[in-house]
């Protein structure tokens, strides 16, 4: 679920300007489309997460007496495969293919996140979602409006993300509650900061593309995926603090 290589993909796409007209897209229009696709993906994920959490046959097929079933592992790891496919296939895939992959990814993520409804109460999930949305909104607004260059700040946040991934892998073996708590705190801070950085970066990209072209449509989808990952990870880390277990 982590935001692995999306920032590198977006950093490499800065100048899709029509050589004949030199027309530039209005950044606000580009950003609006990015947020629209992100919101649509979140809605799909939320719907299918709740739907599959109420499907007893589906849940029972994911868990066996000895632990996670093969299907369970596929559902948990499939989202990572979609992110890697979209990242590595950015130049090769068309905008329509990337869009289909993004929609399919949001559905698969819903299946993967259905577990949270089995662990936490519905009211605490709703509360955490609201807090996440408010935090995300504030940081997105800050990233869009600030005059400061957040590049160095973003680089620090990205290093923090790498640290979280490594620490999480180590803690899979240590199973330390203290380390898990520290990772969660850092995770909230990192994805809060990444939100502002990613929005500022997308604003700059929007100023350097001709809106409506194939490259611009692809960048909209990849931008939506980046912000979607920021939001989902922020939500999951906050859920560790605000979620009430059943």
What pTM, to 2 d.p., does this model score?
Answer: 0.88
pLDDT score, position 23: 44
Contact present, 154 and 193 (Cβ < 8 Å): yes
pLDDT score, position 11: 53
- Give me the helices (H) in 4-26, please: 6-11
Give counts: helices (H), strands (E), the chain. Answer: 10, 2
pLDDT score, position 200: 96
State percent of the chain over pLDDT 70. 89
Q: Rounded to whole angstroms, how far apart are CA atoms 95 and 222?
A: 10
Crossing angle of helices 214-242 and 177-206, in 10° steps, is 150
Burial degree of 86 (CB within 10 A; 0-12, 13-18, 19+): buried
Residues of the chain short of pLDDT 50, as ranges, are 1-5, 8, 12-25
Residue 209: phi and psi, rounded to 5, are -125, 155
Closest C-alpha among 194, 184, 182, 195 to residue 156: 194
- Please state the domain extents for the chain: 6-242
């Amino acid at each position: 679920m982590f935001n692995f290589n999306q920032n590198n993909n977006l950093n490499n796409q800065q100048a899709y300007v029509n050589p004949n007209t030199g027309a530039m897209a209005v950044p606000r229009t580009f950003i609006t489309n990015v947020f629209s696709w992100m919101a649509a993906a979140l809605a799909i994920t939320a719907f299918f997460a709740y739907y599959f959490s109420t499907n007893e046959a589906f849940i029972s097929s994911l868990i066996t007496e000895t632990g996670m079933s093969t299907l369970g592992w596929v559902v948990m790891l499939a989202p990572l495969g979609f992110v890697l496919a979209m990242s590595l296939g950015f130049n090769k895939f068309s905008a329509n293919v990337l869009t289909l992959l993004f929609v399919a990814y949001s559905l698969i993520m819903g299946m993967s996140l259905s577990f949270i409804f089995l662990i936490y109460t519905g009211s605490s999930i709703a509360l955490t979602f609201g807090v996440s949305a408010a935090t995300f909104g504030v940081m997105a607004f800050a990233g869009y409006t600030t005059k400061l260059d957040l590049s160095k700040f973003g680089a620090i946040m990205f290093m923090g993300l790498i640290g979280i991934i490594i620490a999480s892998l180590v803690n899979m073996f240590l199973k330390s509650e203290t380390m898990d708590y520290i990772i969660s705190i850092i995770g909230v801070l990192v994805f809060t900061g990444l939100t502002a950085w990613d929005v500022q970066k997308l604003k700059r990209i929007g100023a350097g593309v001709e809106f409506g072209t194939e490259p611009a449509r692809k960048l909209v989808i990849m931008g939506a995926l980046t912000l979607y990952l920021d939001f989902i990870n922020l939500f999951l880390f906050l859920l560790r603090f605000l979620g009430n277990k059943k």
